Amino acid sequence: MRTIRLVFSPDADDLFMFWPLLSGKVEAPGLSFVHERVETEALNARAEGGDPPDVCAVSIAHVPAIGDRYLLLPHGASVGRGYGPIVVARSPRTLASLAGARVAIPGARTTAHLALRLLVLEQTGRLYEPVPIPITPFARVFEALAAGEVEAALLIHEGRLTYKDDPSLHAVVELGEAWHASTGLPLPLGGNVIRRDLGLETITAVSSACRASIAWSLAHRDEVLDAIVASGLRAEANVDRARLDRYLAMYANDDSATLRDDVARAIAVLVERGRAAGLLDQGSVELAP
């Protein structure tokens, strides 16, 4: 029996995709899984650290930086099709007005940060001043906005839905919409990577198990949704069942089941634009079997 170390975020779509595998709904002969949940930017750091997990959820923008040790699994992606992370502020403003502004970001390696920098740069030729504010505790970024520590905030995960609870917050830009207007493509946000040194046989077996877990969740959506709600794991995010249902419809769907051709093109465009702007280092994005 080979033990596979799996690390992913507390985010609802990650929980949705891996729940069948971890709860025994899906069999993985010859494999056992141990898991850990950490926030998105910490996941990116773990993947490039000294003791990298076997399978790790990461930001797509970070995959080239770890391409020497990881392959991108061809399933498990979170994709924004005309929607995605959102920038909010306490007064109405434009995307162009973010140039030079202090903007809260969920992490320097996140896809949302890269995409927003590219969009602001495209419009203004300038960048904003990033202020990293971790996703947890959930309320911290909203407190920073209220206190005037930042002029705007880039929200990912469930925060892109719950910000509407505060009538003083105004949407500045919906990244998925702006990205599609600029590229004609969806915005690939997150994915799962697997260590190259596991070897082809193990990589294939783990990939198959993860694919089966995602398929099981999609086929038994209500059961998994109920399990996530009952677990209370997203209680801090103030997400009820209806919002969780909406969130999963956005980020745990057919795009999670398999990497579509337009998503693969979108990854290539994201990396190409990031490199051309001097915002990404060289590195590979190679798919696992």
Residues 29-51: b if buried by 16+ CB within 10 A, e if exposed: eebebeeebbbbbbbbbbbbeee
**Residue 32 dihedral angles phi and psi, to the nearest 5°:** -130, 150
Q: Which residues contact 178 (CB under 8 A, 6 or more apart)?
A: 95, 119
Q: Are 100 and 94 in contact (CB under 8 A)?
A: no
Cα separations (Å) of 171 from 65, 81, 167, 231, 282? Answer: 31, 18, 11, 31, 33
176-181 own/partner pairs: CB under 8 Å, 24+ apart:
176/80, 176/81, 176/82, 176/83, 176/84, 176/85, 177/82, 177/83, 177/84, 178/95, 178/119, 179/80, 179/84, 179/115, 179/119, 180/81, 180/82
157 is catalytic: yes
Structure token digits, residue 30: 């010859």
Q: Of residues 62, 75, 113, 157, which has the active-site annotation? A: 157
Cα separation values, 167 from 88, 164, 170, 195, 243, Å: 11, 6, 8, 44, 18
> From CA 34, how far away is CA 28, in angstroms rounded?
13
Measure the CA–CA gap between 213 and 72, rounded to whole angstroms.
17
Whether residue 241 contacts residue 225, with contact meaning beta carbons closer than 8 Å, is answered with yes
Q: From CA 189, how far away is CA 183, in angstroms rounded?
A: 15
Residues annotated as catalytic (active site), given as ranges: 157
